[in-house]
Copies of this chain bind each other. A is one copy, B any other.
Amino acid sequence: MSELRHRGGDGDGNDKAETAGESDHVDSEEEKVLEDKYVDIMAKNLPQGTDKTPEILDSALSGLSSRWRNWVIRGIFTWLMIGAFCLLIYGGPLALMITVLCVQVKCFEEIINIGYAVYRVHGLPWFRSLSWYFLLTSNYFFYGENLIDYFGVVINRTDYLHFLVTYHRFISFSLYCVGFVWFVLSLVKRYYMRQFSLFAWTHVALLIVVTQSYLIIQNIFEGLIWFIVPVSMIICNDVMAYVFGFFFGKTPLIKLSPKKTWEGFIGGGFSTVVFGLVIGMEKFNMYPFMIHSLALSIFSSVIGPFGGFFASGFKRAFKIKDFGDVIPGHGGIMDRFDCQFLMATFVNVYITSFIRTATPQKLLQQVYNLKPEQQLQLFYALKESLENRNILNMVP
């Protein structure tokens, strides 16, 4: 790790040794000043959230202090969003999946727009098209995987779709390769560093947004309960943390978000756990779900908020206030969904670890995807093995 490296290898006689691994170089004053200037200039061009409020609301609330006005506006739009959420649940799984897709696209747009502004890409060839192309191909891959997993047997009946199913990964990879080659060909000398930074930015955005919304869809397929309960828990935690913080907040929680307090964190967490227990008892009245509900509520109140802190830190790093301004009082879509993504991954992992520890049904469906003679081959192999192990004689 700490091998010696020399700078400038073309025999320029400069052999001042530098430890690359454990560089002890200290920023000079000049460098610090330069960096601050650079960050400021970058930030100047960033899109900023605006706290814009519909005019009617604005005039109706003109008598209130800004603190209370924000409280009312935030409250109204929270209820509107909760209402929309209920409507969507009423709309069923398909409506939810389409919504997840829309939210995902919007979040991607918000993240990538910040990237565009940070690296000032105006004039850079193809950059917008490229990142949207990557969004498209990764969605094609992940949504396709889900559809094949759950509707494989149905899809296989159609000849044309059968081709798409069988070669799904190959098609997706080819599409990705096109994007990759396109990126390399679009590199322009002056912009190398920004282009690579944006390439990384795009891929991290895909990692956060696309892969996790793929997991959300998987959760929905496992049963709507695995979508509704965790989403409500995060909502509950967000709302109650805000309420407790608003009325009792005194002790600052984390430097990253000066507005967050220990009172809000603990009050929100406590409320969420109670909410989880109540949901577990009242709604489903089954013993095992109580445990699951408790586990989910603990995660959403202890680790969940770190998704929010992460987003706060990100916003501070690039000197923006919000990710966008589509929801008055709340900011962008990404501002509201920052914790939902982490939660979705947790739920998915939770299901695969504790719930769906290998179901015969799922395997059976995969067996039906085989050719008839292969199914037969598997059948006889299984029969023989069961006989050898004296399992076939058991009463089923």
Taking Cβ atoms with an 8 Å cutoff, the residues of A that contact B are 1, 5-10, 18, 20-21, 23-27, 31, 34-35, 37-39, 41, 45, 47-52, 109, 113, 116-117, 120, 122-123, 166-170, 173, 177, 180-181, 183-184, 187, 189, 192-193, 195-197, 200-201, 203-204, 207, 255-256, 303, 306, 309-310, 313-314, 316-318, 321, 325, 342, 345-346, 349-350, 352-354, 357-360, 363-364, 366-370, 372-383, 385-386, 389, 391-392, 394, 396
Contacts and interface: CB of A to CB of B under 8 A. Distances in A.
A367 B353 contact: no
A1 B316 CA distance: 23
A287 to B, nearest CB: 21
Contact of A379 (B45, B349, B382): B382
Contacts of A203: 204, 207
B48 A6 contact: yes
B364 A5 contact: no
Contacts of A376: 386, 391-392, 394, 396
Nearest to A393: B376
The majority secondary structure among interface residues of chain A is helix
Closest 4 CB pairs of A and B: A20-B47, A192-B317, A170-B353, A9-B50
Given A196-B317, A379-B392, 17 more contacts: A8-B48, A34-B38, A34-B41, A35-B38, A166-B353, A169-B349, A181-B303, A183-B310, A187-B255, A187-B256, A196-B313, A203-B207, A364-B382, A373-B394, A375-B382, A376-B396, A379-B379
A180 B310 contact: yes
Contacts of A372: 389, 391, 394
27 contacts: A5-B50, A6-B48, A9-B52, A9-B321, A10-B51, A24-B122, A26-B122, A34-B34, A38-B38, A166-B353, A166-B357, A180-B310, A184-B310, A187-B256, A189-B255, A193-B317, A195-B313, A358-B370, A359-B374, A363-B366, A364-B385, A372-B389, A373-B396, A378-B382, A379-B383, A379-B386, A379-B392
Nearest to A390: B372
A41 B48 contact: no
Contacts of A167: 353
B193 A200 contact: no
Contacts of A352: 169-170
Contacts of A255: 187, 189
A193 B318 contact: yes
A120 B366 contact: no
